[in-house]
A and B are shown apart, each in its own frame.
Chain A
Amino acid sequence: MERLMENLLLFTFILYLCAFIAFAIAISGKKIKDQKKKERRWGNIAIGVTIAGVACHLAFTITRILVTGHFPTSNMFEFTTFLCFAIVLAFIVIFFIYRSVVLGAFAMPLALIILAYAAVFPREVQPLIPALQSYWLVIHVGLTALASGMFAVGFVAGLIYLINQVGNQKQGRNGFFLEIILLATLMFVGFIFTNLISSSMGYEAQIAHIVDGEQQVQSYEIPPLVGPADGQVQKMTPFLGLDKPLMEAPAWMKGHESAKLLNSTLWGILVGLLLYGLIRLIARKRISSLLHPLIKDWNPELIDEISYRSTAIAFPIFTLGALIFAMIWAHEAWGRFWGWDPKEVWALITWLFYSAYLHLRLSRGWHGIRSAWLVVGGFLVIMFNQIFINLVVSGLHSYA
C-alpha cells in the first residue's frame, strides 16, 4: 500500500510535467496560419493530461488516507502536497471558464515547484496528536489550501500580465522588480534542488552547540556553509575539501534550527544565482524578456481578468476556511476563537491584504499593472505564512 502511494505521487509528478510540456508546445511557435489549430490541439492534450494528473493526485490522497487513517494535511509534506493539488484543481476550473492555454504554461510549473518543495519534508506517516484529531482538520485546512490554490492561479495570471506588459522593458522599476520576482523563484527552485540532491546522496553532518544552556546537535542534510554560533563539528562528510562550516551564524540567531535554515536559504540563494547567471550567459537577456515573446500576443485584458476572477473566487473560500471555520475549530480545541497566534494573525493579514486589493480594484479602479502587482504581493504573503511562520516562528500551528 505504501509502495502504491509513493508510486502514485511519482506518477502524478510525471503527468504534471507532461501537461506542462504540452502547454508549452501549445503556446510556442510563431503566429503562423495554423497556429490556432495547433494551439487548440495541444491545449486539449495538455488539459487532458492535467486532469489525468489531478485524478492520480486524488488517488494518492485517498491511499494516504487509507494508510494514515487521517486526512493528509497534518504536517508540512502533506499540506504542501495538498496545496499542489489545490493549485492544479483551481487552474482546471479557471481553464474551463476562460480557455486560456497560456495560463497552463505557467500554472503547471508552479504546481511542479510546490510538489518538489513538498518532497523536501519528511514523508513518514505520523499519528495525529490530540489537537489535530478532529474533522475540522480536513474542513479548515482543506478549504484554506483550496483557497490558496485559487490565489496561486491569480498570482500566475498576474505574473503573466506583468511579463506581457513590461517583460521587454529594459528600464524602469516594473521590469526590474519583475526580474527580481523571477530570480526569487529561481532561488526557491535552487533551495529545493540542493535539498533533494544532497539528501538523496545521503550527505550528513552533525554540529553540536548550546541552546538555552543545553547542548543540542543539529543534523545537516546539505553541506553546512553556515554552522551555529560556537558550534562543535562532531561529524561531517567533507564537501569540496571543506571539513568545517565556512562561517558561523550570528549569535543572535539562537533558535535551535535557525542556523540550519539560514544555511539552506544561503544554498538556495547561491544555486539560484548560479542558475540565473547561466541563463543570462546563454540567452544574453533577462528572463522576463526571454519569456516575453511567448506571451506578448495574448490579450492582456483577458489575463488581467483571470487574475482578478481567481482572486475573487478564492476570497470567500479563504474567508470560510481560514477564518470562520478556523475560529470555530479554535473555539472547540483551544477554548477561544481567536488568540493572536502568529499563524492566525497572518491569515488575517492575508485576508486584509486581499480585501484592500478588492476595494482598490472594484472601487478605485486599479486595473492592469497595479492590480497584477497586488496579486503577486498577496501570494508572497501566503507563501510567507506557509513557509516562514510555520518553520521559523513558533506558535500553536507549528506541527511539522
Chain B
Amino acid sequence: MIENTKCECGHNNPIGTILCEYCGKPLDEGQQEKKSIEKEMRYDGVARRSQKKEQNFLDRVWSFFSSVKVAIILIVITLLASGIGTIFEQERLTGSSDPESYYIEKYGVWGEWYYKLGFSDMYNSWWFATLLAMIGVSLVICSLDRVVPLYRALKNQTVPKSTHFILRQRISHQETLKAEDKEEKWKKLIGALKKKRYEVRQEGNSILAEKGRISRWGPYINHIGLIIFLVGVLLRFIVPGWYLEQALYIREGETLRLPDTPYYLKNEKFTVEMYEGEFSNVPKNYQTDAILYEKDKNGQLVPVHRHAIRVNHPLEYNELFLVQADYQMETTGLKLKVIEKQTKKNLGTFSVDFQKISANQVYKVGDLEIRALEYYPDFVLQNGRPATQSQEPNLPAFVFEVKAKGANEGEKSWVISGQDTSSLTPQNKYEIDLEGIETALSSGLLIRVDQSLPIIFAGGFICLIGLVMGFYWHHRRIWIKYEDGKIYLGSHTNKSWYSLRREIDQIAEQSGLRLKLTQE
C-alpha cells in the first residue's frame, strides 16, 4: 500500500491514508493516474485499522468482521435460514411430546430430515444464535472501523483542496473565468449555494459548501441501536430473574400462587362475551377480573393490585406482566343420581365437587345418607388394587356408602366414570349413576417477566433514529476553487447522485456557469 505518507502540501498523514487529509490530493502514484477517486471518497480516504498492511491474528479477525461483504453474507445466510424455519411449523407449535414421529407422520421423509437437520427448533439452536452473535460482532467492528476515522476527517475538513482532488470527483467541472469577473461570480455562487441551504465556508480562492452531514452518522447510530437491541436479548439469557415465562390456568373464585414469583392471584370472575346477531360465533371479549396479592410478614395475603385482564389490556405490576392468553372448560365435579334398583325410581341427585370432596363427607338425597369413602381422581387398577395416577380428575372413581336414615349399616357402591359398575355389587338396593358433569371456565393467563424490554425497545428506537438520519438527509459537498484563470468545481455525495446533479444544475443556472449535468 502507501509508504510515503507525507503530501506535497507538507501535511503528514497517518499510515494507510489514501487522500491527503489536508489538501485531498491522492497520495500514491497509482491513485493519481486514476480518473476518479470516488471509491476512495467513501470514507474521505482516511486510514482505517482494517487496512493495516502487517496483520497479527487479532488484526485479521478485525479485518474479517470489518468487511461489509462479510456482513452482507451473514445477513443473507440469516435470511435464508429464517425462511427455512417457516417451511413446516416449529416444534413449539406442534404441541407434540414426540416431535420426531410427529414430523415423520405429517410430512413424511421431508419432515424426517427437517427434524434430523435441526430445522424444527432452529430459532433456539446454537447455530442460529451464533449467526446472530456474528452479526452483532460485525456491527460493532464495521462501525468502529469506519466511524472514528470518518469523524476525524469530516471534523477537520479544510476548505482549499488541490485541483487534483476536485477534478477527480465523480462530478467535476472546469471553465475559464477572467480575473475581473471572479468577484461577481463568487457572489452569485455563494448566493445560489445558500439558497439551497448549503453551509458555505470561504478561504482565499476556495469555497467549501456542505449540507446534511448528519446523514453520515445515521448508519452508526442505527448500528448502535441494533447492538443495544441484541445486548438486550442476550441479557435475558444470562441475568437470573430477568426473564420468565409461565402459563397458568385459574378458575373463577380460585386463588393461586404465580409460579416463580412472590405473587398470588385471585380470579374473581371470568367472562367470555360473543357478538350479537349474525356474528354470534365471533368472540368479542375475554376478561379475567383479577386481584393480585403479596404476602406480608405474617404470611397474610395483602391485595396490592386489581385489574380487569383483557386481550390487549394486560395486568402490569412492577416487573410482572399478566396476559389474557386462553381459556378452557374444566370439569369441576359430577352430578350423580341415586336409583332404586327394583322400581327404577330416581330418588334424587347430589353433586360432588372435586376440589371440596373430603373423606367421610356426607351427601343427602331424600332419606338417604351417602358417605364418600374413597376417591380416586385418576383411577387405575394396580395389581388388582384401585389406585390413582395423579391428582387431576381425569378419570374420577368413588366408593360411596349408601345408608337409609336411621339404619345401622349401609351398602357400598362403586362409581367409576365411564363404566357400568352395577355388576360389581349385584345385591345392592341402590345404584348410583352419572347424571351430568359440572364445569367451570378456567382462564388461561401468561405470566411474563422481561426486564430486557426497555433496553430492547430503546435499541429499536435508536436504530430508527439512525435510519431516519441516514436516509432522509443527504450529505452533499461542493468544492470550488479559482486558480490560474480557471474555475474548478467538484462535488461529492454518498447517495442520490441524480438529485445532486439536478441541484448543481440549478446552482449553475443561477450563477451563470456553463454546466448542465442532467438531461430531462
Contacts and interface: CB of A to CB of B under 8 A. Distances in A.
Interface of A: 36, 126-127, 129-131, 133-134, 136, 252, 299, 301-302, 304-305, 308-309, 312-313, 315-316, 319-320, 323-324, 327-328, 331-337, 340, 342, 345-346, 348-349, 352-353, 355-356, 359-360, 362-365, 389, 393-394
Contacts of A353: 79
B108 to A, nearest CB: 7
A199 B313 CA distance: 41
A336 B245 CA distance: 9
B238 to A, nearest CB: 18
Contacts of A320: 464
Contacts of A129: 282-283
B282 A340 contact: no
Contacts of B261: none
A359 B78 contact: no
B461 A324 contact: yes
B91 to A, nearest CB: 11
B460 interface: yes
Nearest to A324: B460
Contacts of B310: 130
Question: Lowest 6 A-B CB distances belong to which pairs?
Answer: A335-B323, A130-B311, A316-B467, A335-B446, A305-B498, A352-B79
A393 B86 contact: yes
Interface string B483-494: 000000000001
Interface in B318-332: 321, 323-325
B225 to A, nearest CB: 10
Contacts of B497: 301, 305
B382 interface: no
B275 A340 contact: no
Nearest to A130: B311
Interface size grouping (class) on chain B: 35 or more
Contacts of A308: 495-496
Interface in B47-104: 68-69, 71-72, 75-76, 78-79, 82-83, 85-86, 89-90
B471 A316 contact: yes
Majority-rule SS of A interface residues: helix
A323 B323 contact: no
Given A359-B68, A359-B71, A359-B75, A127 B518 contact: no
Contacts of A136: 312
A327 B460 contact: yes
B498 A301 contact: yes
Given A134-B312, A316-B464, A336-B448, A309 B496 contact: yes
Contact of B496 (A127, A131, A305, A323): A305
B494 A362 contact: yes
A332 B314 contact: yes
Contacts of B496: 305, 308-309
A237 B190 CA distance: 78
B483 to A, nearest CB: 30
23 contacts: A127-B284, A130-B284, A130-B286, A130-B312, A130-B324, A252-B107, A299-B518, A302-B518, A305-B497, A308-B495, A309-B496, A315-B471, A319-B467, A324-B457, A327-B460, A334-B323, A335-B245, A340-B85, A352-B76, A353-B79, A362-B494, A363-B42, A364-B69
Nearest to A367: B497
Contacts of A342: 86
A315 B467 contact: yes
A189 B494 CA distance: 39
A366 to B, nearest CB: 10
| Centre residue among B42, B79, B284, B324 by max chain A CB count within 10 A | B79
Given A305-B496, A334-B325, A364-B72, A345 B85 contact: yes
A310 to B, nearest CB: 11
B520 interface: yes
Nearest to A389: B86
Given A133-B312, A308-B496, A356-B75, 9 more contacts: A126-B279, A129-B283, A131-B312, A308-B495, A315-B471, A316-B464, A336-B448, A348-B82, A355-B75
Given A336-B448, A348-B82, A313 B472 contact: yes
B471 A359 contact: no
Nearest to A311: B471
Nearest to A333: B312
A129 B281 CA distance: 10
Nearest to B285: A130
Given A356-B72, A364-B69, A335 B463 contact: no
Interface string B21-60: 0000000000000000001001000000000000000000
| Centre residue among B83, B90, B275, B496 by max chain A CB count within 10 A | B83
B123 interface: yes
A342 B83 CA distance: 9
A337 B495 contact: no
Interface in B164-188: none
Interface in B415-453: 446, 448, 450, 453
Contact of B82 (A126, A309, A345): A345
A387 to B, nearest CB: 14
Interface string B479-520: 000000000000000111111000000000000000000111
B19 interface: no
| Centre residue among B313, B460, B472 by max chain A CB count within 10 A | B460
Contacts of B39: 365
B265 interface: no
B214 interface: no
A356 B325 contact: no
B317 to A, nearest CB: 14
B137 to A, nearest CB: 16
A134 B172 CA distance: 55
B223 to A, nearest CB: 11
Contacts of B460: 323-324, 327
A349 B325 CA distance: 27
A392 to B, nearest CB: 11
Contact of B495 (A301, A312, A331, A355): A312
